[in-house]
């Protein structure tokens, strides 16, 4: 029936994929970079559903003495597949002069895929949910602020062998938890890890 046909741009939201992305920056004009990165992601094929505020966070890992980060989390819908979305995130990082010099070192922009339709994958190219999100207050606190009902599949893993810094050990078991509860537990352990800065100015959508 001609009247019921939809084009891609008219596709109802329910048929789209839903993803959570975490953004971080600790070099350059970090607040501007994060806001421009959201606009670039929207131009690249995601629709913004909601965004956390901007948070100032103490660096986790990496070289001593690097500057504090600005972090935020966004929820998007998209027609992009998970790997296409990762490629878009990498392209937006590159457009903001992201260089991979030191692991967990200072960077103009980092965009991680935290969740994609609740998919679970151990592929090292795209591990889902992001394997370190569950231990990172700089991801969980903004995520919980943005979506107090958010849930995350937490993976309990074997002990790391210590052979490789980017090692993601074998999964032992999984459980679904409330992100707000998990973030409260993490914050209780380190209250100075993260502080709210201000709302993010999100771009108009086409
Ligand atoms: N969920 C994911 N989101 C983003 N990158 C991922 C994900 N899972 C695996 N990767 C892979 O991780 C690799 C390293 O990514 P990146 O350089 O952004 O790491 P990082 O930001 O320094 O550290 P971390 O991965 O701990 O956030 C990339 O090549 C990417 O393919
Ligand atoms: N506070 C903070 N620390 C980090 C961050 C980040 O975004 N914020 N990203 C890292 C690697 O992705 C490593 N450490």
pLDDT of 11: 55
Q: How far is the CA of 69 from the centre of ligand 2 (A)?
A: 7
Residue of 133, 146, 139, 141 lying closest to 191 (CA atoms): 141
Q: Which superfamily does CATH assign the domain made up of 17-199 to? A: 7,8-Dihydro-6-hydroxymethylpterin-pyrophosphokinase HPPK (3.30.70.560)
Smallest CA separation from ligand 1 atom 26, residue: 132
Domain-wise residue ranges, the chain: 17-199
What number does the ligand 1 atom closest to the CA of 105 have?
22
The percentage of the chain sitting over the pLDDT mark of 90, rounded to a whole number, equals 70
Q: Which sign does the torsion angle of CA 162, 168, 170, 174 carry?
A: positive
Q: Which two tokens stand for residue 96?
A: 């903001």
Here the ipTM equals: 0.97
Q: What is the pLDDT of residues 131-170, one digit of tens each?
A: 999 999 999 999 999 999 999 999 998 888 888 777 888 8
| pLDDT (average), residues 62-83 | 95
| CA 83 to the chain's CA centroid | 14
Q: Does the pLDDT of residue 1 top 80, yes or no?
A: no
- In this prediction the pTM is 0.91
- Ligand 1 centroid – CA 112 distance (Å): 6
């Amino acid at each position: 029936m001609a009247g019921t046909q939809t084009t891609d741009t008219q596709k109802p939201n329910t048929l789209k994929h839903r993803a959570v992305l975490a953004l971080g920056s600790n070099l350059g004009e970090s607040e501007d970079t994060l806001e421009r990165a959201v606009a670039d992601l929207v131009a690249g094929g995601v629709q913004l559903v909601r965004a956390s505020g901007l948070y100032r966070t103490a660096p986790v890992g990496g070289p001593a003495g690097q500057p504090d980060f600005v972090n935020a989390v966004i929820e998007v819908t998209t027609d992009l597949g998970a790997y296409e979305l990762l490629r878009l995130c990498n392209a937006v990082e590159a457009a903001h002069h992201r260089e991979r010099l030191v692991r967990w070192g200072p960077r103009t922009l980092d965009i991680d895929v935290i969740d994609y339709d609740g998919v679970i994958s151990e592929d090292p190219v795209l591990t889902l949910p992001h394997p370190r999100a569950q231990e990172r207050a700089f991801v969980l606190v903004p995520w919980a602020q943005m979506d107090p009902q958010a849930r995350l599949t937490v993976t309990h893993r074997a002990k790391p062998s210590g052979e490789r810094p980017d090692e993601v050990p074998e999964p032992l078991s999984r459980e679904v938890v409330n992100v707000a509860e998990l973030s409260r537990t993490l914050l209780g352990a380190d209250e100075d890890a993260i502080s709210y800065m201000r709302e993010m100015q999100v771009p108009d959508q086409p």
